Amino acid sequence: MAIHFQRASWRYARFDGTQADPLIDADDVMASLTDDLLYHGDLAAALRRLLQDGFDTRDGSHVEGLKAMMERIRQRREELAEQQNELAEKVAEALRDVLETERQALDDSLRNAGSDTDPASAEEKRQQAAEHHAELEMLPSSLTGQLQGLMNYDFTSPEAKQAFNDLLDELRSELTQLQLDQAAAQMASATPEEREHLRAGLDALNQMLEQRANGEPLDPTFDQFMENYGDLFPGGAQNLDELLEQIARRMAAASQMMASMTPEQRAQLQGLSEQLMADMDLAWQLDRLGENLRDQLPDMGWDEQLGAPGQDPLSVLGSSEAVGELVDLAELEQLLSTMSEPGSLAELDQEQIAELLGPDAARSLAALADLTRQLEEAGLVARKGGKLALTPSGLRRLGGNALSELFGKLRKDRFGNHPMPTPGLGIDREMETKPYEFGDPFHLDLERTLRNAISRSAAAGSTTAHHGAVEFPVHLEVDDFEIERSEHLSSASTVLAIDLSLSMPMRDNFLAAKKVAIALQALIASRYPRDYLGIVGFSATAHVIKPDQLPEVSWDYAYGTNLQHALALSRKLLASKTGSKQIIVITDGEPTAHVMENGEVFFNYPPVPETIEATLHEVVRCTRERIVINTFVLDETGGLRSFVQKMTKTNRGRAFYTTPQSLGDYVLVDFVEHRSGAHRRHIRRGA
């Protein structure tokens, strides 16, 4: 046999930014999922909550959840509403200027009437000026009302009339853009020929929609339509569906705007629209198009409100760009509200999200969309029957996270009154070795084995030394193998009995107890692989919990603390085990239930002597079988302390009165100390 050592190689390149780590990785996700997954035991639900709430990464970055995205959308809507108010103020100011100019012209007309030599003409001028003043005074206070009134007003001032007409042109453009984006905006200042071209284009489009709805061939085809009327629809649509979606988004925006208004505001807008859209055939074509689009694209949210009725409604004076953004925000909000798993976020347009909510939001959504993929590629979760589930690797990672959290709170050398050996955890071997003999467990000591091979080869003259270096390869023979002494590899058997009665979550003790269970399982699996760990959950009755079931374990919706049944089941699990044996009990209540001789469960609160006696009788059985019972008490009461004292006196185990915050520290430190003490006793006995 020969062992060949190869030099490792690396390649270096100039950093260009593309080598940067992604915002999150599987470790970030699992660390954020740990508490939720341990508490509720549902991976899919934990991912959904992570999706909603977001999380912090190990490098201090924050990934925003969907709740934060919804808040961003709300804030942006408020900003747009404020912008619309500002625009309305500008239009109101423009109207005030128009009215001021007109009134100034009327006053000038009155002054000029006084110098008119013709009394009849002077009186006529004064009467006209008074009538115009009265007409202006009677204008409504609302902007749309003033616009309607001034459209039928005979201006005295040419300057005021021109300014008002310019304002109307601008409003016509804005209003038509709400209906048909840029193409319809041209209608406001279009020539008769251009208006006919637009009408013909709308008619051809409606014809195609109705033909498709009836299953008929399109005439004209889409390509022919775009060749004839593509100038009206500059959105770059490649097919009829894309074109319809572009148009429908704008028309749905107008519909949503109308749905958001009060009845009075809606009536004012409709009246103004009728006056601005004087071409009835063109208006009919738009109505026809709207009905066709509603039929073929019913999911556009046509009648959804952009806000509460009458609350910050989008005025007719608002810009079409703002309306389009509001529609995009409404669509995004609807999509986000239906997202139930991270992978579905990958369908969103990241560029559009960056435009609507900013680059940070887009980056967070991209990270959220990547959650499941990261976990699957890391081998931590897999789909079983269409459902995500933790893999064995994921179970180990979950336990490792819990273990790291609990041990991370401990000082290096000690915690409280529980000293820890300075060398660290897992020192249960004295590392003595022996030559390998056939039949021995092959726990190879690589350092001693290589040293034996080099010494043998050097003695045989097959290697040469150059300044203390040895030439390779090194040839191994069976006589070179050296293994760790198996007689010093002691084992321990532990059963963790966890109270799962309803009082545990009610008193906020459940998560701490479950975290201890999965951390202890991870500790034993990684550092004491020869040890046995059984887990028993108990409430009104007790049951065995397999390690792979731990993440899904939840509390029982039952009252009753049947410690007697838990001890009996734990004793049964330990019956066939060797080495030191112990039961770790975590509970927050005194025994209130026991199994009677006929197999039925008896429950009573407060506890009755029969239940206490039955439980202590099981303690005696454990003691006879040399099983140590160590009890960790949460929410100590007088009755519970009294019972635990009786139990520890009988069994000579120990009792610890602790809190959820320190439970893990006490249990793990005590387990390591118990484990090390059992190992030392094992060696002294010469086992």
CATH of the domain at 541: 3.40.50.410
Is 192 found in the same domain as 325? yes
Does residue 113 form part of some domain?
A: yes
Does residue 511 form part of some domain?
A: yes
Is 531 found in the same domain as 469? no
Mean pLDDT of 303-326: 47
Alpha-carbon distance of 605 to 616, in angstroms, equals 18
Alpha-carbon distance of 395 to 37, in angstroms, equals 11
Higher-confidence residue of 160 and 304: namely 160
Q: Give residue-wise pLDDT tens across range 173-228.
A: 555 444 433 333 444 455 678 778 878 888 888 888 888 888 888 888 888 888 88
- The percentage of the chain sitting over the pLDDT mark of 70, rounded to a whole number, equals 71
How many domains in the chain?
3
How confident is residue 11, by pLDDT bands cut at 50, 70 and 90? very low
Mean pLDDT of 123-139: 84
Is 481 found in the same domain as 558? no
How many angstroms separate the Cα of 644 from the Cα of each of 23, 73, 542, 606, 659?
A: 50, 56, 19, 16, 16
In the prediction, which pLDDT does 447 show? 85
Does residue 108 form part of some domain?
A: yes
In the prediction, which pLDDT does 676 show? 60
Alpha-carbon distance of 160 to 172, in angstroms, equals 18
Does residue 264 form part of some domain?
A: yes
Is 584 found in the same domain as 464? no
Question: Residue 417 pLDDT more than 50?
Answer: no
Is 612 found in the same domain as 549? yes
How confident is residue 340, by pLDDT bands cut at 50, 70 and 90? low
Mean pLDDT of 1-23: 39
Question: Residue 127 pLDDT more than 80?
Answer: yes
Does residue 417 form part of some domain?
A: no
Question: Residue 10 pLDDT more than 80?
Answer: no
In the prediction, which pLDDT does 153 show? 87
How confident is residue 116, by pLDDT bands cut at 50, 70 and 90? low
Does residue 137 form part of some domain?
A: yes
Is 538 found in the same domain as 475? no
Is 551 found in the same domain as 442? no
Question: Residue 262 pLDDT more than 70?
Answer: no
Mean pLDDT of 331-336: 74
Is 517 found in the same domain as 467? no
Higher-confidence residue of 274 and 92: namely 92
Question: Residue 248 pLDDT more than 80?
Answer: no
Alpha-carbon distance of 375 to 371, in angstroms, equals 6
* Residue ranges making up the domain that contains 440: 433-486
In the prediction, which pLDDT does 430 show? 45
In the prediction, which pLDDT does 86 show? 64
Higher-confidence residue of 251 and 462: namely 251
3-state secondary structure 258-305: HHCCCHHHHHHHHHHHHHHCCCHHHHHHHHHHHHHHHHHCHHHCCCCC
Tell me the pLDDT of the chain averaged across its residues: 75
Mean pLDDT of 95-115: 84
Is 137 found in the same domain as 85? yes
Question: Residue 281 pLDDT more than 50?
Answer: yes
In the prediction, which pLDDT does 677 show? 59
Question: Residue 438 pLDDT more than 90?
Answer: no
Instruction: Render 84-112 in DSSP notation, one character per residue.
Output: HHHHHHHHHHHHHHHHHHHHHHHHHHHHH
Instruction: Render 41-54 in DSSP notation, one character per residue.
Output: --HHHHHHHHHHHE
Domain boundary among 332, 349, 379: 332
Does residue 422 form part of some domain?
A: no
- The percentage of the chain sitting over the pLDDT mark of 90, rounded to a whole number, equals 14
Instruction: Render 407-455 in DSSP notation, one character per residue.
Output: HHTS-SSEETTEE--TT-TT------EEE--TTS---B-HHHHHHHHHH
Is 289 found in the same domain as 178? yes
